[in-house]
Amino acid sequence: MYETAQEVVLGLNPMWVSCAIFITTYALLISDIIHRTVVVMLGAGLMILTGVLNQQQAVAGVDFNTIALLTGMMIIVAITKQSGVFQYLAIWATKKVDAKPRGILLMLATVTAVLSALLDNVTTVLLIVPVTLLIVDKLELSPYPFLIAEIFASNIGGTATLIGDPPNILIGSAVGFSFMDFVRELGLVVIVIHTAMLVMLDFIWGRRLTTTEECREKVMAFEEKDAITDKRLLIQSLTVLAMVIAGFMLAEIIHLETGSIALFGATLLLLLHILGRSSKNQSKRVNGILDEVEWSTLAFFIGLFVLVHALEVNGLLAILGEGLVEFSGSDIQLTAFVTLWFSAIASAIIDNIPFVATMIPLLQSASTGLGGEEAMAPIWWALSLGACLGGNGSLIGATANVIVAGFAERAGYPIKFSRFLLIAIPIMLLSVMIATGYLYLRHFAGL
């Protein structure tokens, strides 16, 4: 246990000061008038300056496993993407369905979902959307249905694994769920939700997606093997990526944290990337790759951990946790379903990363009242499903959505917030309903 401050600046109660700083930070995050990283770092700084936390406590609040995992995967992806493998996959999938638009919609959405499960969603859409725009441009079609499908697929696919979406990284690291726990628990339901989403989109747009034979021939003329820019790099990066994923699967057996595995894999790939190069070229390559690491995202996570930790050590989350237990009457099923739907709705409105970062210690503080760590499992899966799938509920529900909307605008097909909602809300409701049914059958039906 940490020693908590009895009083802070101006003799105020630390719990209320931390609460005020936290609410102000959240309000600023929602208003989007100041960059989110600056907002959380400012909030974290104020927690220390006002005496709510000392620096030692602030550092102790940072989950360095999450930071290491994010950093490692960012480095691996930064190197791997240079090989052109992601463009290769997109073109290969397109040609597999003879460049027929209806098939492309389903294939590119599925490629996006699979990649999102193995990489982060933002990286996936950054890699897939430009090649999608190129393909639909050749087919003389509106990119709208394809981009919408990729938004949904990225959020759904990312739900399936520990590394697919930041909320899962946070939950996995805090609760101790392994990579395989996520795959076993969420893999099947994600496949069902993805399939349901595809059926729905095909029903809406499928029959209207037509093009000419001449346009299809232009796409079929693409040579996917020429998308590979560096075969040596391709082999190296895919080998390391496969080793890292195998490491995640075996993490419990080899007694290593996912952060250590990802960071070691990233270092190994960096080594292979510079091996045999001149000293000057090595520096250029290493700096070039490290420039691609999203330092602002990492700083955002660090600030967030400190903010939430301040609430935790000053007892506010324990009070809220007790309130949750009282509200649910220690009913795990009710708590799981409330968590699922509340997380989905909240994540459609606000960034799901700070939301989950707050919910984790809150639920942890309620765990004793809810029957202990083992009984809590359905609630953690409900949080993961709700937070990840909720990202589909609006255009600002997930960073990947905003990125795709930016691409669409630059391509001359802006995605309007209200128009997106018309399809996003039904998709989100459908997916959360499937998740509800799945949680019930798996954990509460006694099958």
Partner 1 sequence: MKCKTIMHSPPTRLYVDNTVREAIDLLIEHHMYNLPVVNRDEVFVGEISTRRLTGLLLPDSISMDMGLKHTGFMRETLKDLHQRLNNVSDQLISQYVDTDINVVYPDSPLMDALTLLYHNKYIRIPVLDPDNQQLVGGISFITLLRALEMEE
Stretch that binds partner 1, among 71-79, 214-222, 264-272, 384-392 (CB under 8 A): 214-222
* Cβ at position 134, least distance to partner 1 in Å: 4
* CA-to-CA separations, 224 to 88, 113, 228, in angstroms, rounded: 5, 20, 8
Stretch that binds partner 1, among 21-29, 204-212, 219-227, 263-271 (CB under 8 A): 219-227
Enumerate residues 6+ apart whose C-beta is below 8 A from 190: 113, 117, 156, 157, 159, 160
Q: Which of residues 239-258 bind partner 1 (CB under 8 A)?
A: none
* Cβ at position 202, least distance to partner 1 in Å: 24
DSSP letter (8 states) at residue 398: S
Enumerate residues 6+ apart whose C-beta is below 8 A from 443: 333, 336, 377, 378, 381
14 binds partner 1 (CB under 8 A): no
101 binds partner 1 (CB under 8 A): no
Tell me which of 22, 222, 337, 341 binds partner 1, using CB under 8 A.
222
- Across 297-308, b (16+ Cβ under 10 Å) vs e yields bbbbbbbbbbbb
Q: Residue 415 and residue 405: Cα distance in Å, rounded?
A: 6
Q: Which residue has the tokens 């059926």?
A: 199
232 binds partner 1 (CB under 8 A): no
Q: Which of residues 379-418 bind partner 1 (CB under 8 A)?
A: 407, 410-412
Instruction: For 150-200, list the strands marked E by DSSP.
Output: none
79 binds partner 1 (CB under 8 A): no
**Are 85 and 238 in contact, with CB atoms under 8 Å apart?**
yes
Is the Cβ of residue 131 or residue 148 nearer to partner 1 in the bound state? 131
146 binds partner 1 (CB under 8 A): no
**Are 426 and 148 in contact, with CB atoms under 8 Å apart?**
no
119 binds partner 1 (CB under 8 A): no
77 binds partner 1 (CB under 8 A): no
The SS3 assignment for 1 reads coil
**Are 196 and 281 in contact, with CB atoms under 8 Å apart?**
no
Stretch that binds partner 1, among 30-38, 108-116, 225-233, 275-283 (CB under 8 A): 225-233
130 binds partner 1 (CB under 8 A): yes
214 binds partner 1 (CB under 8 A): no
The footprint of partner 1 on this chain (CB under 8 A) covers a number of residues equal to 24
331 binds partner 1 (CB under 8 A): no
Is the Cβ of residue 137 or residue 294 nearer to partner 1 in the bound state? 137
Tell me which of 14, 61, 84, 101 binds partner 1, using CB under 8 A.
84
Angle at 422 between CA 419 and CA 423, to 5 degrees: 105
Encoded one letter per residue, x for contact with partner 1 by CB under 8 A and - for no contact, window 273-312 reads ----------------------------------------
**Are 110 and 194 in contact, with CB atoms under 8 Å apart?**
yes
Is the Cβ of residue 50 or residue 83 nearer to partner 1 in the bound state? 83
Task: Count CB atoms within 10 A of the CB of residue 71.
Answer: 22
Task: List contacts with partner 1 (CB under 8 A).
Answer: 84, 87-88, 91, 126, 130-131, 133-134, 137-138, 218, 221-227, 229, 407, 410-412
